[in-house]
Structure 1
Amino acid sequence: MRDSHRAEAERLLARAVEEEVRRSGGSSDAGTLLARGRAALDSMAASAGEEYAAYEQALTEAEAGQQPLSQRFSRETLGAPVLVTAVAAVAAIGADIALGTATGTALGAGAVVAVAGAATTVAKVTAAHWPAAHRRAGALAQPGGVDQLRLQWLTALDVRGIRPFLDQQRMLAASARPAKKASVVPQLRGTDRSAAARRRSVLEQSFGHLPHPGGPFAGRRSQMAQITQWVHAARAATQTLPVVVVLHGDPGSGRTTLAVRAAHDLKDLFRGACVVDLRGDGEQPLPTRDALLHLLNRLGAPREQLLFRERASAEQQVRRLSELYHQYLTGLPVTVVLDDASDPDQVRTLLPERSDSLVLVTARAPLDLPDDIPARVHQLPVEALDAAGAEELLRAAAAPSSPGPYDVRSTEEVRELCGGLPLALRTAGSSLGERSADRLAADLRALGPLDPVERALRLRYTDQPEQARRLLRRLALAGRASLGPAAAAALLATDEKEAQRLLAALSEAGLIDHVRSGRYRLHDAVRRFARNRLMDEEDAADRGAAQERLIRNYAELAGAVIRMVDGKMSTRAGQFGAYGFPSLDAALRWLDDESSFITSALRHAEGVDQQAVLGLLGALCDYCLLRGDLYRLGEISELTQAVDQGLLERSVRWRTGIAARQLGELDKARTTLSSVVGLYREAHHDAGAALALCSLGITLHHQGNLTEAAAKLHEAIALQDSQEQAEDRAWSLHALAAVERDRANPAEALRLLERALALHREGESLHGEAWSQFQLGQVFLRTGDVPAARTALEVALDLYGRTRDGRGEAWALTQLARARLVDGDPAPAVDDLRQALARHRENEDARGEAWTLYYLGQALEESGDRDQAVRELERARTMFSRMRDVYGLACARHHSGRVTRDQLAARTGSLRNSGFARQLLVDARADFARIGVAHGEAWTCLELAMIDAGNSRAPQALELCDEAAALFASYGDERGGDWARFLRCTLLPYASPGGIEVGTVVSQEELSRLMAAGHASRDAKLEDCAEALAVMLERGVRLEDGWQAWQLGLVPNRHAREVMGVAVEAGR
């Protein structure tokens, strides 16, 4: 800008400042405004840059065509006249001298001629200049001339530069006035008791896993009293140390029974209990690592530690698990029974050192524990029963109709032949119903010099018929877990009724222990005896055939149970019928009872048909996922890795990836499932690859990678086009529907769910139908159809209950509570969400917990508790961040930023100082843009626009509204587009280039067009807001008041974003 022009612009600015000071009644400081205006003059001039450029160009052209009077006396102009005048003067002088005139006179005449010529030339040039100058002056005054362009430039500078600048300064001055401080009542922050409640529940359930204390218990009351006394003495002490009682005695002396009885009798003093079979000296001892994993599982430690068993060195794993174990049990008194221990170092590792726990160690001999062990150690021998105790036990074990009189001598001889050991006495005493004490003593004596337990077992073994003896022998093939009639029937190739009868007979003979209804277990000594008899009396072919039948029968039964849940999946092709189960509930109860036995049997499945093993493994893995039993899934994964057979390992690794996703370990799940897809493709197993691709797509969806998730699911569906894979395809379809819902395609989601539901019903998959109904309910919530959503979600909840899917039930409860929130009923929604949150924590479903916290924060906001809402949203944001769930993180950031902004605004009375909230929203927008979620990005733009408008950045806010409108239009969201256009109308008076008057007129025109274009999905609140804005614009807007839409409530609320205004008629 030329100096002259800058001076002219400053004079215009000075006049405008004087006018502003007069308008404000002297409240504005002229010097400050003028100084700020001069500093911002270049930016103001830029707003009129086009007019100034035209003026400058015209001025330059005019100056180029203008010729001043001095330029007319140039050499070019005066050359000819001067030459003519000079020639005439010389000619005059020459002529006069030639005629005889005196030289002086001649020179005078020549001078007169020269002067006359010069005067004539000057007169001619001047006469030619003045008319041209007058013509140029007239042209300047004509329309479109340079002077008019100058006026246009000054007008544009005033309207688009100086006036908006003064309006902005007026708004800044108004916002800088001290606001009335609102009284804020501090909120008391309560503690979160849900995690503690879950821990308490798991510990209480741990007592139910102890062996049942029923049966005769004689001769051990003094030892029980001694243990109780030591525990009470430790509780009275000031130092927190565990009590360690080493119960040492011969096998069969009742060490384990005494320890278990003590755990039951003292349960009121402890929070939980667990029995670990360390497997002593007679067979391969249980590794310390496996013992720690078992303890952590039973006592409720985080399950990701139980699923992912890194293939590091054994020492490193033991160190890591030991640290976790001691940290978890710090200050937590529990009872730990270490059964059949032999290694003092292992016992020390398993001691919960920083708690008032009771550790009952059973061993064959006293354990020499280190002197520096941080515990109160007691050695308690468990010796042979005395005469009174043996007599009591024999009476309890004998049949009620025991013949003959009481025989003291024979009873004492029986005690001596049985070594006073409870196991031998109980086993031998069970025959007193059919023989007298004297005969019993004689029969025992006739067996010769044997071990007392061996003698009693051999006696009762020979008493049984061959079928019962064969069953006892083959029960040694079943491992250490309890078993029922199904296993016995498979081992004998008979029916379950006959197997149940034989089990009951063996239990009455004292050869097997009755655990609970229909379940039996072998004592370690009996198992060794049965194994010896099996090796001696049956050949390898018979043993292998029995093992094969056991695995095959259980594979069919377990597969049938899972098929009743998941339907006709390709993994269980050809399996039909309920195999005698009267109901799904009865089938699931059977699998609950048998799961431990199946795991134990799989450890001894060498040489068995691999297809049967694969079926049994798959069914057991699906059961673990359904029940959330990730400890057992970790065991199975470890077992298959040790076997290193491709098909088995792929099947189990696929389920392990799904379990990792349920725990919220999304990166690990993605890596695992990607590797499984590769393994199935290498094996050219398309059905397995498709199922793994479906699981991978769901994992990518949970990470927020919607585009890639949709691609993987489409790829899976393409591989599942055969009729045999219809049920597999249904699972992929409803997973794809969830992705399309989040990609703002509800019509496509509804279409996919209709197909999925039809296929699930055709495939008889209750579980698949439950998840499809669950997804359907979420789509209806997205479109604002709350009654339909509730119906679908209630159906899903009922189906989850029938399949005993606790994780699914928790998700359904979360979405039902969300339905109440969408329906405008936040108070009950808060209660329901808290209940669902406890269920998710009980299932250790990190993702379910995070999303429930997210909805809980919104419900608390609607209830008016913004402080607690911010805390819950921040917890959700932290969990999403830890899980690497970009979509969840973006949503949590969006609402956390929005509520934080509202929280600060409620305290300060304005939207200023919203920097942290704005940063959260900026991050949320970046996340939404990165994963391609236009719906979230558009609404985040509107929230940012409100913050910018409240901070006197109306032009930036207007630009954000335009960007939001474009994003809403990209996927056809008319509801969101309405709010973007409406907010634009509220901003135009403050951001229009023509100033407040022009902006008000434009705003009124756009508002009238907005209200004229009605549609079905319009938010009811927007119509009320539009009426209020129309009245406000009609009365006039005062810039001193600033952007008033926020204070007047003319902005979208949380519910406006909840419903997506996209047409769904095509999908219904």
Structure 2
Amino acid sequence: MAVELRGPSPVPDFGAVNGEGDDLPTVLGALPAGAVLRPFVIVLHGPPGAGKSTLAAEVARRYAREAWGPSSSGPLPVHWLSFGGASVDAREILLRLLAECGAPRQDVIRAALAPNRKFDRQLREQCEEFVRERVVVLDDVSPAVARPVLKVLRHCYRLRVIVTSRREHGWRGVDLRHSVRPLASELDSEGPEPRLRRSLEQLSAQERILLDFLASRRSRAPFTTLTIRPSKRRDAMAGLLGLGLVRRVHEDRFALSERVRGTVLSHPSVLVTPHKDVTWELAGAAVQLLEASAGLLDGRKFMETEELVPLLPHELVPHIDEFMQLPAETRRLRAKHLEQRLISALATILAFLGDAHRLVALLRRSPKNRAVRRALCALARDVGLPDTAQSLIHGDTSADADFERAANHYATGHLDSARDALGEPFETEDIDTAWALLLRGAVLCDQGHVLEAERHLRFSADLHRAFDCRRGTGWALLHLARVSLLQGHDTEAAHRLRQAAEVAEALGDVRAQNWVETEWLRLRAQRRDNPAAPDRDRLVLAAHESFEDARGMGWTHVWTGHAYEGAGEHANAEAEWEEALRRFAGCQDALGLAWTRHRQALTFASDRAHNAHWADAYWAFTELGCAYGSAWTALEIAARAPGRALSQSYLTIARWVFELLNDTNGQSWAEAVGMAHADDATAPTTGSHMSDDIRQFLANHEAGEPTPIPLHARDLILIQGQSDTSAGCRVRITLLDESPTADTTARLLVRVAPGPGHPWASNPRATPWLTATALPLTHATLEPASALLRPSEQEEHGAEFDFVPHRTGTHRLRFTIALESTGTVLQQVETELDILDTGQPGNHAAPHAVTPRGR
């Protein structure tokens, strides 16, 4: 059975029940049939090594499979919660159980900062609702730990609880206490002890060190090899398995029997390797592993070693509960710094995995840990709780907290507030800059500044790749796809969505995968030849709902409604948009609300009651800082305003904002509305979709049948001067010096070569001056920062740069070509140069063009 954080933990395989005793039929016979609705609690107690866990596992498996008969919907879920005798807080046990039962994340996050009494009441209510019709095993716990847990579970519907403990007394309110004793033949046998001693004598030094460590662990629960990272320890584990001193109970999960534990502790090793030193080594290795794995999610640096390979988050899932216990081990060592690093990395991974319950358990254990609070802040935002997210970072003045505040503002659609919280763009090239650029690019995209958004997002993607931050890379690609959709580059958008999907799938970023699917729906909705796809829409909605991502559900409803409206199914479109409004209101996404109301109002152009939506939407866009939405809403008001003065006022606003955005599509529609009001039906003569739409709009107006601006018109931003100025030109980069090496100067020549038929090629004297701006993307220097050149194949018309690499390896260089007179960006190219340490020439990759980024 696979291990899932929001699914039952698997029952270990301890083998067959000992001997031929009657323990199994006695316990199974005591458990009630399915008709009994109240909970039933059994305590199996006995000495170490009696087989309590083995009996509990077999009872749980059989009862879950057989107890309720063929009329039930299938085997009951079984949760195996093993604590190995450790002193565990009852709240942590209940939180883990709620997580495995799939309880809502929002409820526990809302209660995260509540006082103990209120928090306990919330846990009890949640357990009563979600922990039902299942079998729960509390393995190896004391009465003091189990009693507060059982007090809550006694109120759960059709629950069967099996407890194993060494303690016979101290239990209250249980339905059955059963004593598990080793069979007499086993007690009288002297065989096992001498065999164990002989096995101990055969151990290597490393095997004995590891066995001593395992035997002296505070927890007797099954363990994994992930907390034994150094290779010599893993080799020792293989030796212990071969000798039968350690046994495998589930895939990569192992157990040390009580008989072996007792023998090891009663025969101490003569090796001079203190247990504390081994614990230090293994705890340090576990911290390094978690930090390296968290680095894939947030770009944090870690110490690279040959044997340390970061694990993907889903690979850590089976071992999370063991890692959750490590802070207690490091606390025993009084290694405060090690403990904080461990908690910080663990919090990042739990937030990514969406495990709100274990993350809240971590917070309740370390309420002042800012890394945990920031991680829970991010998860609260993702599940639609921006207010709770803000409260979690209250008083935190760190740069990381400032970023989280900006992200919270963005999630609620307050774009100007998000930019203010981010502050000025950073000049350093580090991972903090990468995340800030990602968020700034997303904000600029929603505001309609597509070229600036693309510039920030490309740089962010480059930095995230440099730091091997795969999560950041995937999200940068996703937002770049949104930029492409706004620019009408459907093919490029589809390519970027596929890239983002590949990164998200490889990393296991469920939320990113869901948003990629929503953007695919948007791409389909914006294409006129694609009908609505209800089945796919429902799958995407279900995926967002599983993660409790209300914003994701809201925007999926928006684009589904868009597709229905395009197909003429107005009733279905209205139903989708009403649902979108409900979702956006729940997660406080004001931008989503404004765009949904904008679209709703479009379908009720003649309904005065719905025209009030326009004024509300306009002021909402203005207050949020969404220039793009303000312009389109002002244009719609201008098209409907009853008086010429009012119409011209809003038309002037729309024209001014479209000009500010450099959006020729919006400007063209503003001119069309102006011509319609002036009864001047001069339509554009080009054959583009936009021109056809404007021509039809003016023709209908002239015929006395005014129609609204098409729904899809506002989903396109065309930038003036972006298209054909540099078409047919090729940027050539030539290395003038052979065999460049580190810290030596090599000359590069940059030329812009017009192709045949280009105006610059037919009239060389009329060619404009261009600027070439140089930017090294790796540790190198390029001088000068920019230089003038003219379009020509001739070398004397090119621009020369001095390139100094400061390390060996592959270097990436970027050149931006712009018109010197206006600064309009024509083209960007990137090239790679291999700098070797042998003096031999490297490979010089051909430059490749990328999308212009604007000024």
Answer whether TM exceeds 0.5 for this pair: yes
Q: Aligned pair count?
A: 711
Matched, 1:322 2:124: yes
**Residues 271 and 334 in structure 1, CA contact (< 8 A), matched pair in contact too:** yes
Structure 1's 468 and 578: CA in aligned 2 closer, same or farther, altered over 3 A?
A: closer
Counterpart position of 1:1026 = 698
Counterpart position of 1:335 = 135
Distance in 1 between the 2:155 and 2:687 partners?
Answer: 69
Matched, 1:705 2:414: yes
- For residue 495 of structure 1, give the secondary structure of its aligned residue in structure 2: helix
Counterpart position of 2:101 = 299
Distance in 1 between the 2:549 and 2:3 partners?
Answer: 15
| Match of residue 168, structure 2, among 347, 350, 365 | 365
Counterpart position of 2:191 = 440
Bigger shift: 848-857 or 306-315?
Answer: 306-315
Distance in 1 between the 2:708 and 2:255 partners?
Answer: 69
Distance in 1 between the 2:136 and 2:316 partners?
Answer: 27
Provide Cα deviations, 1:884-916, integer angstroms capped at 9, x if missing partner: 2222222233234445x37xxxxxxxx34x52x
Distance in 1 between the 2:345 and 2:364 partners?
Answer: 17
Structure 1's 738 and 358: CA in aligned 2 closer, same or farther, altered over 3 A?
A: same
Structure 1's 980 and 224: CA in aligned 2 closer, same or farther, altered over 3 A?
A: farther
Counterpart position of 2:741 = none
| Match of residue 520, structure 1, among 248, 254, 257 | 254
Structure 1's 921 and 296: CA in aligned 2 closer, same or farther, altered over 3 A?
A: farther
**Residues 246 and 380 in structure 1, CA contact (< 8 A), matched pair in contact too:** yes
User: How far off its partner does 1:562 sit?
Assistant: 3.7
Amino acid at match of 1:515: V
* Residues 850-999 of structure 1: pairs in structure 2 closer than 5 A: 850-899=554-603, 901=604, 911-912=606-607, 914-915=608-609, 917-944=610-637, 960-961=650-651, 963-986=653-676, 988=677
Matched, 1:381 2:381: no
User: How far off its partner does 1:798 sit?
Assistant: 0.5
| Match of residue 617, structure 1, among 328, 331, 343 | 343
Provide Cα deviations, 1:159-181, integer angstroms capped at 9, x if missing partner: xxxxxxxxxxxxxxxxxxxxxxx
- For residue 180 of structure 2, give the secondary structure of its aligned residue in structure 1: coil
Structure 1 unmatched runs, 5+: 1-200, 371-376, 391-411, 418-436, 445-455, 681-688, 903-910, 989-1001, 1038-1043
* Residues 841-856 of structure 1: pairs in structure 2 closer than 5 A: 841-856=545-560
* Residues 93-492 of structure 1: pairs in structure 2 closer than 5 A: 206-207=7-8, 209-218=9-18, 224-225=24-25, 233-235=33-35, 240-268=37-65, 269-277=74-82, 284=87, 286-307=88-109, 310-329=112-131, 332-339=132-139, 340=141, 342=143, 346=148, 348-351=150-153, 353=155, 355-363=157-165, 364-365=167-168, 369-370=172-173, 378-379=175-176, 381-384=178-181, 414-417=185-188, 440=191, 467-475=206-214, 476-477=216-217, 479=219, 482-485=222-225, 487-488=227-228, 490=230
**Residues 478 and 597 in structure 1, CA contact (< 8 A), matched pair in contact too:** no
Distance in 2 between the 1:556 and 1:1018 partners?
Answer: 56
**Residues 204 and 272 in structure 1, CA contact (< 8 A), matched pair in contact too:** no
| Match of residue 810, structure 1, among 514, 518, 521 | 514
Provide Cα deviations, 1:931-957, integer angstroms capped at 9, x if missing partner: 1212212333445566766xxx88866
Distance in 1 between the 2:176 and 2:517 partners?
Answer: 52
Distance in 2 between the 1:560 and 1:1019 partners?
Answer: 54
User: How far off its partner does 1:537 sit?
Assistant: 7.8
**Residues 974 and 1017 in structure 1, CA contact (< 8 A), matched pair in contact too:** no
Amino acid at match of 2:77: G
* Residues 566-577 of structure 1: pairs in structure 2 closer than 5 A: 566=297, 569=299, 571-572=300-301, 575-576=303-304
**Residues 203 and 299 in structure 1, CA contact (< 8 A), matched pair in contact too:** no
Amino acid at match of 2:212: R
- For residue 604 of structure 1, give the secondary structure of its aligned residue in structure 2: helix
Provide Cα deviations, 1:631-685, integer angstroms capped at 9, x if missing partner: 33333333443xx6xxxx3333332322222222222323444633x1x3xxxxx
Distance in 2 between the 1:732 and 1:620 partners?
Answer: 23
Structure 1's 416 and 620: CA in aligned 2 closer, same or farther, altered over 3 A?
A: closer
Amino acid at match of 2:387: D
Provide Cα deviations, 1:391-418, integer angstroms capped at 9, x if missing partner: xxxxxxxxxxxxxxxxxxxxx6x4233x
User: How far off its partner does 1:322 sit?
Assistant: 0.2
**Residues 1017 and 1061 in structure 1, CA contact (< 8 A), matched pair in contact too:** no
% same residue: 23
Amino acid at match of 2:292: A
Normalising by structure 2, what TM-score?
0.74
Provide Cα deviations, 1:377-434, integer angstroms capped at 9, x if missing partner: 742624336xxxx5xxxxxxxxxxxxxxxxxxxxx6x4233xxxxxxxxxxxxxxxxx
Matched, 1:799 2:533: no
| Match of residue 601, structure 1, among 326, 333, 337 | 326
Amino acid at match of 1:212: P
Provide Cα deviations, 1:427-474, integer angstroms capped at 9, x if missing partner: xxxxxxxxxx6x618x68xxxxxxxxxxx9889767866654432221
User: How far off its partner does 1:754 sit?
Assistant: 2.7
User: How far off its partner does 1:1003 sit?
Assistant: 1.0
Counterpart position of 2:832 = none
Structure 1's 675 and 525: CA in aligned 2 closer, same or farther, altered over 3 A?
A: farther
Distance in 1 between the 2:384 and 2:264 partners?
Answer: 46
Structure 2 unmatched runs, 5+: 66-73, 723-824, 826-851
Structure 1's 317 and 560: CA in aligned 2 closer, same or farther, altered over 3 A?
A: closer
Counterpart position of 1:75 = none
Matched, 1:728 2:432: yes
* Residues 12-91 of structure 1: pairs in structure 2 closer than 5 A: none
User: How far off its partner does 1:777 sit?
Assistant: 0.3
* Residues 823-834 of structure 1: pairs in structure 2 closer than 5 A: 823-824=527-528, 826-827=530-531, 829-834=533-538
| Match of residue 714, structure 2, among 1057, 1060, 1066 | 1057
Distance in 1 between the 2:263 and 2:580 partners?
Answer: 57
Provide Cα deviations, 1:786-817, integer angstroms capped at 9, x if missing partner: 11101011011111122221221111121122
Counterpart position of 1:558 = 290
Matched, 1:696 2:433: no
Distance in 2 between the 1:761 and 1:890 partners?
Answer: 35
Distance in 2 between the 1:955 and 1:826 partners?
Answer: 40
Distance in 1 between the 2:542 and 2:456 partners?
Answer: 32
Counterpart position of 1:767 = 471
Counterpart position of 1:993 = none
**Residues 270 and 333 in structure 1, CA contact (< 8 A), matched pair in contact too:** no
Which has the greater radius of gyration? 1
Counterpart position of 1:653 = 373
Distance in 1 between the 2:280 and 2:44 partners?
Answer: 40
Distance in 1 between the 2:218 and 2:341 partners?
Answer: 18
Structure 1's 764 and 283: CA in aligned 2 closer, same or farther, altered over 3 A?
A: closer
Provide Cα deviations, 1:513-534, integer angstroms capped at 9, x if missing partner: 4232343134678768867877
**Residues 228 and 234 in structure 2, CA contact (< 8 A), matched pair in contact too:** no
**Residues 246 and 367 in structure 1, CA contact (< 8 A), matched pair in contact too:** no
| Match of residue 542, structure 1, among 269, 274, 278 | 274
Distance in 1 between the 2:447 and 2:21 partners?
Answer: 69
Distance in 1 between the 2:155 and 2:356 partners?
Answer: 27
Distance in 1 between the 2:306 and 2:591 partners?
Answer: 41
